[in-house]
């Protein structure tokens, strides 16, 4: 697939399937941050990741066995391996270690450098176009996430953990761009399943230690592991692959600015956590920014290679 080529699926409008995939991904990943914090009370950061993706990899491997997709070429397998190493193993290890010292608000701010990095990489590597209006919307969303972070009681303390989370954001961006060409030849759920299986294999050396911790973990920690493996991993990685297969990489990543505002809303609905005024304003700014990036005049087609 040449740089700047148009992927067949991208000729579709933002239809119901794409919208559903984006919404499920946002909801699932918004819930992952508190679940990770709960899991870290009972497990080491890498052990938590190993157990999380062991849970996800079992049904993913079964999916590959039952559907028997075409075996990837060497070039495609290298892209899939990059997903397993970067998007699964290294991402979850860096994020989990970072969340041990960085507040949730600061973590959400740092991880949301991902859409900006992805947009830049997609322009350079995939030949996608990102208009001036889209950059304005991206900047507005990023500023909104910053307000959410500043509105947290713990403030914006940035330390080594912040660099680890920035590394996790970079892992996501690189993987998004590397794996985008796969969707011209492989189904989204196949790509997602390979990511989880290969990622779980990379994390396997930490499984014995994770199993020992699992044996003495409280029920809240066990529930966190199972939830992380099934919803933010098995389900959300699949829906993210569907969204990425149907949208430009830069546009798909921009929707992730919705995650912190949704996480704030979930905290209010489920836990009674009332957002600060800064947090509420920041959430509104993030959502408006996403709307600006994705606004299209009725009937106006998106340009190829966008």
Q: Are 152 and 103 in contact (CB under 8 A)?
A: yes
Structural tokens at position 190: 């196949």
Structural tokens at position 102: 């960085």
Question: What pLDDT was estimated at residue 152?
Answer: 59
Segments of the chain scoring below 50 in pLDDT: 1-11, 297-306
Question: What pLDDT was estimated at residue 298?
Answer: 37
Give CA separation, 91 vs 88, 168, 247, 254, in Å: 6, 5, 22, 18
Q: Are 235 and 2 in contact (CB under 8 A)?
A: no
**What's the CA gap between 131 and 54, in Å, rounded?**
41
The Cβ of residue 167 has, within 10 Å, a number of other Cβ atoms equal to 18
**What's the CA gap between 277 and 296, in Å, rounded?**
31
Question: What pLDDT was estimated at residue 275?
Answer: 66
Q: Are 6 and 126 in contact (CB under 8 A)?
A: no
Helical segments of the chain, H only: 16-39, 45-67, 74-82, 91-98, 104-111, 114-121, 132-150, 160-179, 188-203, 207-216, 219-228, 236-246, 249-254, 259-271, 277-294
Domain ranges of the chain: 12-294
Structural tokens at position 81: 């391996």
pTM, two decimals, is 0.79
Question: What pLDDT was estimated at residue 194?
Answer: 97
**Interval 76-135: pLDDT, tens:** 999 999 999 999 999 999 988 987 877 665 666 677 777 777 877 887 777 777 677 777
């Amino acid at each position: 697939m040449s740089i700047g080529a148009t992927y067949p699926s991208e000729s579709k409008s933002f239809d119901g399937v794409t919208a559903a995939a984006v919404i499920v991904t946002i909801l699932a990943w918004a819930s992952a941050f508190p679940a990770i914090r709960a899991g870290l009370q009972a497990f080491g950061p890498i052990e938590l990741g190993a157990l999380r993706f062991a849970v996800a990899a079992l049904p993913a491997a079964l999916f590959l066995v039952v559907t028997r997709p075409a075996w990837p070429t060497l070039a495609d397998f290298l892209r899939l391996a990059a997903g397993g190493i970067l998007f699964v193993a290294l991402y979850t290890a860096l994020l989990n270690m970072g969340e041990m010292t960085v507040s949730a608000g600061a973590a959400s701010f740092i991880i949301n450098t991902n859409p900006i990095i992805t947009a830049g990489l997609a322009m350079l590597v995939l030949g996608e176009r990102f208009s001036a209006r889209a950059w304005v919307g991206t900047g507005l969303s990023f500023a909104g996430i910053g307000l959410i972070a500043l509105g947290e009681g713990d403030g914006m303390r940035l330390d080594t953990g912040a660099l680890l989370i920035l590394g996790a954001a970079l892992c996501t961006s690189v993987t998004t761009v590397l794996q985008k060409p796969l969707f011209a030849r492989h189904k989204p759920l196949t790509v997602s399943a390979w990511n989880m299986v290969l990622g779980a294999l990379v994390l396997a050396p930490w499984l014995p230690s994770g199993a020992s911790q699992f044996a003495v973990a409280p029920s809240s920690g066990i529930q966190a592991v199972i939830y992380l493996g099934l919803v933010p991993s098995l389900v959300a990685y699949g829906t993210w692959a569907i969204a990425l297969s149907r949208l430009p990489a830069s546009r798909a990543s921009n929707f992730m600015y919705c995650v912190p505002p949704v996480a704030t809303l979930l905290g209010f609905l489920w836990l009674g956590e009332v957002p600060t005024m800064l947090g509420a304003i920041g959430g509104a700014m993030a959502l408006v920014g996403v709307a600006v990036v994705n606004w299209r005049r009725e009937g106006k087609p998106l340009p190829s290679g966008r």
